[in-house]
Structure 1
Amino acid sequence: MIAQRNEPLQNASQAYSTTDEIKRQLDHLWRERWVRMALPVMALLLTIIYLPAWFSILAIVINLGAEFLSMSFMRGLDPARQPRRYAFVIGCMFLVHFSFCLPSALIWQQNVHNAKAFSVGLVMATLMQLISARTVHLPFGYTGLWAVVLSTVFGNTYYWLQLRDFYGLGLTSLAIFCGGAYTLFAMHTSHRLHRDSALDRQAALDSNSAKSRFLAQVSHELRTPLNAILGMGHAELRRNRDALGKTRLSVLIASAEGLSTLLDDILDMSAIEAGSLPIRPETVCPSQEITSTLALYQPAISEAGLTLGQSIDKSLDKFWQLDPQRLRQCLSNLLSNALKSTKQGGIQIFAVTETDADGMAVLRIDIYDSGPGIPPHLHDKVFEPFCTNHPSPAGVSGSGLGLSITRTLARQMGGDLVIVPNRAEQRGAHLALTLRMTHAEVQPAAPAPLPATTAGLTVLVVDDVTTNRLVAATYLRMLGAKMLEAASGAEALEILERSNPDLVLLDMNMPDMSGLETLAKIRTLPGDIASLPVIAMTADAMAEHRAYYLASGLDGYLAKPITPTRIEAEVAAVLGKTIPV
């Protein structure tokens, strides 16, 4: 267990190379390039007070030129493979600091008002810059320190030897030595801080990546048994005539669907933390999206003995630009939360169009329930991930991710999710969801009519897991379709050579020949079979999986666990795009 905890840090340490270090040094210098170039120029311009103007300007040119060349040649630098280039960058670093400190050494020679204070100030500024900005890659810091020490020792020795004051020379040389030693110690301390910060950041990234891989793997492994539970549960529920048996099977199916929803929530939360949850605006009619979502929850609400009231403003019958999938996801989470917390009474939905402070159109949906409500001291806490039931009667239950995901989605879409405080006479919870939207200039074309059913279709199901084929066969027979089955890609190709099904449901993760390899071979078959519609049926359920598979040439996508409704909807959508109706 300890070894597993330390694995990300060990991986980060192995990834910490000289090349990466130089890249981080360049990034650090490049971010502040204008300030770092402007301040030395201003300081060197001030040296005109004590030195000839041509000398100060020459120092500026050398300083800026060496700085620019060093950063240019640092890009993509690998010292092991490019030693000459590395030596050139080291030389430029030396010139950068020597050109800044040499004027200081010359000013030190002058016995005029404030000259020595000015000289010391230039040297100290250089040492501070070395400690703070040149220690990501220590050899660059060493080079700069050598430039400072050489110029300072040269100027100081020359000055005291002219005066033949060996006591002054010894004392000031000791001061230079002490200052250099302290600077060297501070540079090493700063380097350790930079290194530890880089290692900690890499370890955090590795840990996050490992967590994402773990979540994806767990999701993948859990979806196969969930698929079987749901498939057999739906089949037995359809056949069972006993009321008690139907009740038990309904509980079983609801629990499995709850686990499936929890898996989806966890994957969504992982995508939110990674900043990769996509928002895809489309031209839609918001009232239709809201009505269809409410219709999905109407049976469950009625079964619970509750009422569902709705009021949708006429302005939402027009076409607007927003992400319909995320709108449905937000509304589903809020309806699910309200349903779990309400034991009697009902749920009310009000949807209107408003204008926000920036003059942008906003869809506002107010959700009221007659449950116990959410106490004021929990108004912020309920939006934290994995916040579930509390000792006080808060209207929150389930995975504890729904409200957190909904608020994040709303804010990504320019809106928010807030709890509206109740008036004195008001009971229950009142949540307000806002989503920014824009007018759709062009209305979408009317979609082609879709097949209303899968009845009469012949479907080839390809999956190496017998249980998954059994589940798919059960659903397809429930939907009136005929079924062919194959346990591998090679077997599927053999079946396609002698049969001509209407559709293929293809698993993506099979041994010997993967789903994408099977798809590629199907597309090379002679005749019309090469254009056969193929739908991915996979436990790879993350958003990037769906996008990847559809971009790879598949016609549709079904994430396990599958249900009859999902199969019928996806088959109808795919055949509606591929078969003239």
Structure 2
Amino acid sequence: MLKNGPTVIEEIKRQRDLLWGERWGRLPLTVLALALTMLYLPVWFSLLCLALDIGAELLAMHYMRALDPKRHPKRYGFVMVCMFLMEFSYSLPALLIWQGDENYAKSFAVGMIMTTLMQIISARTIHMPFGYIGFAAVALPALAGNAFYWINNDNVPGLIFSTIAAVGALAYTLIAMKSNNRLHRAAALDRKAAQASNRAKSRFLAQMSHELRTPLNAILGMGHAEQRRNKDALSQNRLSVLIIAAEGLSTILDDILDMSAIEEGRLPIRPQQVIPSEQISATLALFHPGVSEAGLRLTHDISPQLGTAWMLDPQRLRQCMSNLLSNAVKNTKHGGIHVTARLIAQQQRPPMLSVEIADTGPGIPNHLHRLMFEPLSQARRPADGAESNGLGLSICRSMARQMGGDLIIRPNKPGQSGARFVLTLQLNPAKDPKPVEQDQDQPPKGGPQHVQGTTGLRVLVIDDIATNRLVASTYLRMLGATMIEAESGAQALTILASTQPDLVLLDMNMPEMDGLETLAKIRALPGGAGKLPVIAMTADALAEHRAHYMANGLDGYLAKPINPARIEAEINAVLGKSGRAPTD
């Protein structure tokens, strides 16, 4: 009985994909074999068989597209007929040649039959009914032609022995067909299982990231609040350790999600027209205070050639450099870190940006260079004994390769110490030579510059979890704003009916009425309430989450865990775009 359902449809699709993919190798050989039959048979007959073979093959390929035997029984039957005609029109000339006594005729005929049986075994057994119909199209005429030859020559022993040999060869063909079909099915099942496992892993990572971000948000929020309030030096140090550990855990979550995205090819690369030297300098500026505090030096040598505009993803450049600089600081106790940035010209290819980050730490033995880029590798332990997640270098190398470059460890010359990481990225010519606007993710030169202050803002926070509302309230008070809280979308709509805040912070995962539904009802409110700036404040931290929410009309996006700097920067950015000022 013919199986129906998705498995059969997938089998037919894979069968067609295989046959269609190899057509340019198989069809010319079919033409050559049938053309050679003209040495023994009338030309018109060989040409007729050739036309039947190629025509039936092309028709079968056409009607196999999106074929479901249950929904398209007639089309399925027509494809089976085409399969039979194709194999029969190829085998018939061989059987007729077998009847003659010309030089090499029988060898040629046997070769044609054996090649078509091999082709059925190897390429037509994904969907076994196609294999069986092709096998029948070869086996029946072969047995009939063999019997006719020996009976016509009145040779009973020849008939018996040749029939036994032919039946044995055909039986072996059937066994090989079934074995190959099992291999195809096992490979397909393994592939589906691997894909399902990968999807489950991604869902698990996303879910765990979502669940962990809420308690992390509370830890960071209360830690920042207590650190700001408590003046005792010992308590300050303890709280600082707590905050750093929580931020480190948040970074690990981001790295795990980035690694998952890279493995699935989902990591977005967004080239922009930027000046590489400015991006590099801005990244170094972020590390100068920490490096100085550690008693180290941070020096650099940036080529003037990098002072012109190129197409490059600035966020990924800064992400890679930040990871490498952070590792260098962790692994260097004395001396310093030197950054060298160069433009490398290439013949007939776009130039490369080369950034070398060299430290004066203990270095990395040559035999560990490869292991450094393995996910979760701990091949290089930080000099201060701190733990690292072992994902950063693997992610940076994957990103660099996505951008046409690489990340390597350069071996030290005799007498050199420390580690030297070299990041290369492909640079493409700028599309517009006009001055480059500063990237919105880049820290403004000269320190923070607010579009407007947050003091006096009234902010409506909508979140079903009381801890998250408490964290938001703590941060808003630190920023000089006041908070109105709502534990559900319905309660928020009631508040907005009588009060109009300056801004709304909206959780996207709430029971009964979720964030997007709440947003839609806010936008439907009359007057100014319907035009309030709304910022998502959510544990959905994937890039596709941000794109999805922003595409549905949100004005800003904050991924938990949040901190005072991020919430202030996002509020200023959103209110700066909307041109709103705090209400009196």
Give the alignment's TM-score, normalised by structure 1: 0.94
User: What residue is the counterpart of 1:297 in the other structure?
Assistant: 287
Matched, 1:440 2:430: yes
Deviation track 1:398-435 (CA, whole Å, cap 9, x = no partner) reads 11111111111111111111111222232211111111
User: What residue is the counterpart of 1:8 in the other structure?
Assistant: none
Matched, 1:38 2:65: no
User: What residue is the counterpart of 1:481 in the other structure?
Assistant: 481
Contact preservation (8 Å) 1:307, 1:346: yes
Contact preservation (8 Å) 2:327, 2:382: no
1:231 to 221, 241, 244: 221
Matched, 1:152 2:142: yes
Question: What SS class does the counterpart of residue 453 from structure 2 fall into?
Answer: coil
Change beyond 3 A, Cα 1:150–1:267:
same
Question: What SS class does the counterpart of residue 361 from structure 1 fall into?
Answer: strand
CA distance in 2, matches of 1:394, 1:416: 28
CA distance in 2, matches of 1:317, 1:580: 36
CA distance in 1, matches of 2:534, 2:395: 32
- Residue type at the aligned position of 1:100: Y
Contact preservation (8 Å) 1:382, 1:403: yes
Deviation track 1:532-566 (CA, whole Å, cap 9, x = no partner) reads 22111111111211121112221211111011111
Question: What SS class does the counterpart of residue 17 from structure 1 fall into?
Answer: helix
Superposed displacement of residue 339, structure 1? 1.1
CA distance in 1, matches of 2:355, 2:386: 19
User: What residue is the counterpart of 1:378 in the other structure?
Assistant: 368
CA distance in 2, matches of 1:561, 1:392: 26
Superposed displacement of residue 180, structure 1? 0.9
Matched, 1:424 2:414: yes
Change beyond 3 A, Cα 1:270–1:311:
same
Matched, 1:183 2:164: no
Superposed displacement of residue 358, structure 1? 4.2
User: What residue is the counterpart of 1:91 in the other structure?
Assistant: 81
User: What residue is the counterpart of 2:182 in the other structure?
Assistant: 192
CA distance in 2, matches of 1:150, 1:334: 70
Change beyond 3 A, Cα 1:14–1:108:
closer
CA distance in 1, matches of 2:237, 2:545: 36
Matched, 1:133 2:123: yes
- Residue type at the aligned position of 1:554: L
Change beyond 3 A, Cα 1:195–1:394:
farther
| Worse-matched range after superposition: 119-128 or 150-159 | 150-159
- Residue type at the aligned position of 2:466: T
CA distance in 1, matches of 2:216, 2:225: 14
Contact preservation (8 Å) 1:373, 1:394: no
Superposed displacement of residue 397, structure 1? 5.6
Matched, 1:415 2:440: no
Contact preservation (8 Å) 1:387, 1:400: yes
Contact preservation (8 Å) 2:275, 2:436: no
Superposed displacement of residue 104, structure 1? 0.7
2:196 to 191, 201, 206: 206
Superposed displacement of residue 446, structure 1? 5.0
Superposed displacement of residue 390, structure 1? 5.4
User: What residue is the counterpart of 2:552 in the other structure?
Assistant: 552
Question: What SS class does the counterpart of residue 558 from structure 2 fall into?
Answer: strand
Q: List aligned pairs for 1:52-451, cutoff 5 A.
A: 52-389=42-379, 398-442=388-432, 443=434, 446=437, 451=451
Corresponding residue pairs, total: 569
Question: What SS class does the counterpart of residue 484 from structure 2 fall into?
Answer: strand
CA distance in 1, matches of 2:387, 2:109: 69
Give the gaps of 5 or more residues in structure 2.
441-448
Q: List aligned pairs for 1:523-538, cutoff 5 A.
A: 523-538=523-538
- Residue type at the aligned position of 1:467: T
- Residue type at the aligned position of 1:501: P
Change beyond 3 A, Cα 1:342–1:514:
same
User: What residue is the counterpart of 2:501 in the other structure?
Assistant: 501
- Residue type at the aligned position of 1:491: Q
Question: What SS class does the counterpart of residue 308 from structure 1 fall into?
Answer: strand
Deviation track 1:47-105 (CA, whole Å, cap 9, x = no partner) reads 00000111111111100111111111111111112211111111111011000000011
Superposed displacement of residue 577, structure 1? 2.1
CA distance in 2, matches of 1:283, 1:450: 24
User: What residue is the counterpart of 2:465 in the other structure?
Assistant: 465
- Residue type at the aligned position of 1:454: T
- Residue type at the aligned position of 1:74: M
Contact preservation (8 Å) 1:541, 1:559: yes
CA distance in 1, matches of 2:472, 2:379: 37
CA distance in 2, matches of 1:302, 1:502: 40
Give the gaps of 5 or more residues in structure 1.
1-12
- Residue type at the aligned position of 2:497: E
Contact preservation (8 Å) 1:104, 1:122: yes
Identity among equivalent pairs (%) = 60
CA distance in 1, matches of 2:11, 2:506: 46
CA distance in 2, matches of 1:394, 1:372: 12
User: What residue is the counterpart of 2:37 in the other structure?
Assistant: 47
Question: What SS class does the counterpart of residue 193 from structure 1 fall into?
Answer: helix
CA distance in 2, matches of 1:366, 1:15: 56
Superposed displacement of residue 131, structure 1? 0.3
Superposed displacement of residue 379, structure 1? 1.2
CA distance in 1, matches of 2:528, 2:381: 63
CA distance in 1, matches of 2:33, 2:384: 63
Contact preservation (8 Å) 1:269, 1:405: yes
Question: What SS class does the counterpart of residue 360 from structure 1 fall into?
Answer: strand
